[in-house]
């Protein structure tokens, strides 16, 4: 039976959001959140009834905000907003990415400060729990609007969705599960396209994947360290304590645990005076990336706890305020996504340098390209080319989005965060870095074949065993691409990581 996560009076955590996005749990709206939704909607209905002028409720949008609308026009505006704003371009987002945005949207709306109709939120939850995922083009957002509009169309039976692995019209999917298109009221359309929900949902995914990748970087780096006869003195606890960045110290503890009881490391002491920086400075490099991940986590958690619509309604129907504001501006998360892309790109960059050393006999004691019969076999020669290509791509992708700017809505919106494209770019950087680490993992495990009879560390042995349970050593050249893909896939799952974690002290 699938787990059930309730959105109550408090915001969802990013881990809860990711679990729902990955269909590991269903979403429910608790009584406290329903009460908050009802209160916010009652305020909007009060505004409509009194004829008060309020942005996006009784006026047009953006540069058209000075145009006052009648009651019937207010409802029509909601439907028109979804249709006019759904102008996305390019390859659709993955189902997981779209679902992450949908969960983020529900979470934000449940603060009760947007004033959306509770029925619209219930429809979003129903689509999530029935596995109906709107087809959302990936490009075309400057931070918000377009992705939410495509999702909103599915709620009213327009556009296409993916349901049971098949793309079909949203109206057909709704009918198949006994749902009717939802009726939109005043402000409902604006509520669906506004705010930082798209950026926040994607940022939660990126954060969860980056955390996982940082753990793998330590594991694979430790395996390469063994293969390259690394000098363990560089990871000495007393030495690392002299530069007490939290991430650095944590990586140092993990490396010492992963390499504990290694006969290869013990036998290699004094083999060289000091290692190259890509080996010697794993705590410094990986630790710095972890510190940035910690910063991103704080930004994501704050954003999940934020109401990011415009306008926002505060108070009760008897005593309220409706306030135009700038909370849909995603500057904090946009900067965080650019920072995360740089932090993860560095994990991939140093991994590429380590794996290059594994195949180069000029800087290791290993056979050229990790193969015995060189010449007739090329071994891991071209795998390093692939890693270098991905590292080069990440260098370009790590260029920040947030420092650029464009003007939209006839200068009404004249500073943009570009946070959603920054998050999408960050997810691509993570995917590239994962494949670089998958290549390093294969090469480091192959290096172990040249240390027969020597015991590996308690963590590196678990890492070697997990990989070798599915991928045999390379005695001769084999088709490498499927192996790389398999390792990258296993790195994004939990079984291999769990078996390695079980071999280490708790908390590492």
- The count of C-alpha atoms lying within 13 angstroms of the C-alpha of 150, restricted to the half-sphere facing its C-beta, is 25
Whether the CB-CB separation of 359 and 379 falls below 8 Å is answered with yes
Helix axes 246-259, 197-227, angle to 10 degrees: 40
Burial of 501 (0-12, 13-18, 19+ CB in 10 A): middle
Q: What are phi and psi of 174, to 5 degrees?
A: -60, -45
Q: What are phi and psi of 328, to 5 degrees?
A: -65, -15
Which runs of consecutive H residues, i.e. helices, occur in 282-418? Answer: 282-304, 331-359, 381-397
- Distances in whole angstroms, Cα of residue 281 to Cα of each of 110, 196, 218, 225, 236: 45, 37, 12, 11, 12
Contacts of residue 449, defined as CB under 8 A and 6 or more positions apart, other chains included, come to 370, 473
Question: First vs last Cα of the chain: how many Å apart?
Answer: 30
Distance of alpha carbon 416 from alpha carbon 255, whole angstroms: 42
Which runs of consecutive H residues, i.e. helices, occur in 260-281? Answer: 263-268, 277-280
Which residues share a beta bridge with 28?
6
Distance of alpha carbon 485 from alpha carbon 19, whole angstroms: 23
Closest CA to 104 of 195, 220, 174, 210: 195
320 flagged as catalytic? no
Distance of alpha carbon 54 from alpha carbon 312, whole angstroms: 10
Both structure tokens of 138:
């990936």
Region at 375 (left for phi over 0; alpha for psi -120 to 50; beta for the rest)? left
Closest CA to 315 of 39, 30, 24: 39
Query: Of these residues, 14, 55, 144, 441, which one is catalytic?
Result: 55
Q: Which residues are catalytic?
A: 55
């Amino acid at each position: 039976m699938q787990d059930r996560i309730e959105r109550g009076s408090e915001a969802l955590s990013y881990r809860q959001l990711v679990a729902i996005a990955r269909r590991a749990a269903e979403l429910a709206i608790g009584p406290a959140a329903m009460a908050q939704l009802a209160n916010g909607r009652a305020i909007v209905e009060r505004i409509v009834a009194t004829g008060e002028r309020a942005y996006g409720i009784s006026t047009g949008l953006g540069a058209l905000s000075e145009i006052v609308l009648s009651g019937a026009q207010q409802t029509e505006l909601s439907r028109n907003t979804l249709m006019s704003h759904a102008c996305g371009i390019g390859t659709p987002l993955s189902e997981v990415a779209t679902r992450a945005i949908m969960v983020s949207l529900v979470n934000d709306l449940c603060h009760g400060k947007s004033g959306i109709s509770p029925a619209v939120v219930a429809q979003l939850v129903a689509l999530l729990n029935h596995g109906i995922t709107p087809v959302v083009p990936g490009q075309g957002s400057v931070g918000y609007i377009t992705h939410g509009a495509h999702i909103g169309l599915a709620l009213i039976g327009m556009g296409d969705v993916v349901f049971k692995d098949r793309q079909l019209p949203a109206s057909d999917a709704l009918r198949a599960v006994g749902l009717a298109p939802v009726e939109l009221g005043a402000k409902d359309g604006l509520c669906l396209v506004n705010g930082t929900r798209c950026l926040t949902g994607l940022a939660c995914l990126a954060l969860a994947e980056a955390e996982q990748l940082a753990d793998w970087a330590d594991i694979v780096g430790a395996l390469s360290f063994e293969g390259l006869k690394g000098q363990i003195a560089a990871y000495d606890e007393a030495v690392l304590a002299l530069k007490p960045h939290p991430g650095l110290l944590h990586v140092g503890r993990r490396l010492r645990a992963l390499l504990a009881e290694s006969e290869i490391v013990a036998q290699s002491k004094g083999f060289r005076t000091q290692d190259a920086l890509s080996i010697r400075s794993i705590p410094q490099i990986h630790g710095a990336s972890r510190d940035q991940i910690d910063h991103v986590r704080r930004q994501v958690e704050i954003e999940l706890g934020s109401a990011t619509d415009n306008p926002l309604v505060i108070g009760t129907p008897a005593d309220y305020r409706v306030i135009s504001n700038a909370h849909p501006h995603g500057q904090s998360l946009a900067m965080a996504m650019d920072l995360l892309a740089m932090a993860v790109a560095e994990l991939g960059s140093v991994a590429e340098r380590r794996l290059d050393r594994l195949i180069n006999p000029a800087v290791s004691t290993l056979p050229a390209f990790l193969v015995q019969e060189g010449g007739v076999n090329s071994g891991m020669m071209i795998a390093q080319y692939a890693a270098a290509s991905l590292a080069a791509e990440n260098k370009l992708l790590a260029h920040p989005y947030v420092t650029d700017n464009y003007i939209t809505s006839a200068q009404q919106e004249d500073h943009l965060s570009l946070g959603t494209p920054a998050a999408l770019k960050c997810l691509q950087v993570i995917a590239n870095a994962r494949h670089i680490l998958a290549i390093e993992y294969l090469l480091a495990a192959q290096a172990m074949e040249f240390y027969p009879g020597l015991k590996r560390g308690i963590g590196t042995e678990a890492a070697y065993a997990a990989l070798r349970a599915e991928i045999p050593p390379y005695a001769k050249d084999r088709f490498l691409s499927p192996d790389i893909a398999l390792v990258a896939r296993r790195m994004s799952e939990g079984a291999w990581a769990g078996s390695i974690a079980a071999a280490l002290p708790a908390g590492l």
